[in-house]
Copies of this chain bind each other. A is one copy, B any other.
Amino acid sequence: MGADTSMQALPPIGPDHPGVAELFAVLAYGEISAFYRLAEDAQMARTLEGKVALASMASAEMGHFELLESALTSRGFDVYEAMDPFVRALDDYHASTRPSTWLEALVKAYVGDGIAADFYREIGHSLPSEVADVVEEVLAQTAHSEFVVSEVQSAVRASTRDKDRLMLWGRRLLGEAITQAQFVLSRREALTELVLGATGDLNGVVALFDRMQQKHAERMSVLGLV
C-alpha cells in the first residue's frame, strides 16, 4: 500500500495529488495554532510594544490561514475536515514547547516559525507552480520579527545564563519540530508521497532535515545564540 520508496524515479507530483490538500491543511492548522500560541505567550510581554509585536505576528498567521482556506475551498475541500488529522501533532508540538519566559516565547516565535517555513518551502519548491505560489505566499516573511531579533540579541549580550538557556531551548524546538513532522509523515501517506516526490527518495528526506538543521543554526546565530 505504501509508496515504493526503493524506486529512485517517482512519478511527478501533479497539482491534484491528494498530498497537496494535506500540505495546505497542515499549513492551515499550523497558522491557527501559532496564532493562539502567540496570543497566549504575549501575556508574558514586559511592554505594550512587546504585546503589539506578538499580536501583529499572530495576525499575519491568520492572513495566511485565510489564503489556505481559499486554496482548499477552491479545490473542493472543507478546511475544518482537512485540518482535523493534523490537530493532534501540532497541539502536541506546542504543548511540549510551552515557553516559560518572555525570551523563550520570542525565540520560539522566531525559530519555530523558521523551522516550519524551511520545511514547507523545501517541499513547495518542487511542486507545480500553482501550488508552489500558494506555499510561497503563505510563507512570505513578515517584518515583525525585527522586534524579536533585537530583543533577544540584547538579552543574550547582557546575560550568559540567558544565552545558555536559550541555546538549549532552540535545540529543543528543533528536536520537537522534527519529531512531530516525522509523526505526521508516518501517518499520512499522500503527504509522504509529496515529500518523497519533492526530495527524490529517503536519502533526499534525510538531506532535507540536514538542510533544515543548517538553516536553524543560521537563525540561532542571527539571535546571537552561537
Partner-B contacts on A (CB < 8 A): 32, 35-36, 39-40, 42, 47-49, 51-52, 55-56, 58-59, 62-63, 65-66, 80, 83, 87
Q: A39-B39, A40-B39 are in contact. Are A32 and B48 (CB under 8 A)?
A: yes
Q: Which residues of B contact A42 (CB under 8 A)?
A: 36
A39 to B47 alpha-carbon distance, docked (Å): 18
* A84 CB to nearest chain B CB (Å): 8
A122 to B55 alpha-carbon distance, docked (Å): 28
Q: Which residues of B contact A49 (CB under 8 A)?
A: 80
A83 to B40 alpha-carbon distance, docked (Å): 22
State whether A56 touches B62 (Cβ < 8 A). Answer: yes
Q: A59-B59, A62-B56, A63-B59 are in contact. Are A36 and B51 (CB under 8 A)?
A: yes
Per assembly, the copies of the chain total 2
From B48, B55, B83, A87 is in contact (CB under 8 Å) with B48
Known A36-B51, A39-B40, A48-B83; further 13 A-B contacts with Cβ < 8 A: A32-B55, A36-B39, A36-B42, A36-B55, A39-B58, A55-B62, A55-B65, A56-B65, A56-B66, A58-B58, A58-B59, A59-B59, A59-B62
Among A35, A52, A63, find the residue whose CB has the most chain B CB atoms closer than 10 A.
Answer: A52
* A153 CB to nearest chain B CB (Å): 21
A87 to B48 alpha-carbon distance, docked (Å): 10
Chain B's closest residue to A42 (CB) is B36
Q: A39-B39, A40-B39 are in contact. Are A32 and B52 (CB under 8 A)?
A: yes
Q: Which residues of B contact A36 (CB under 8 A)?
A: 39, 42, 51, 55
Among A32, A49, A59, find the residue whose CB has the most chain B CB atoms closer than 10 A.
Answer: A59
Q: A39-B39, A39-B40, A40-B39 are in contact. Are A32 and B59 (CB under 8 A)?
A: no
State whether B32 touches A51 (Cβ < 8 A). Answer: yes
Chain B's closest residue to A40 (CB) is B39
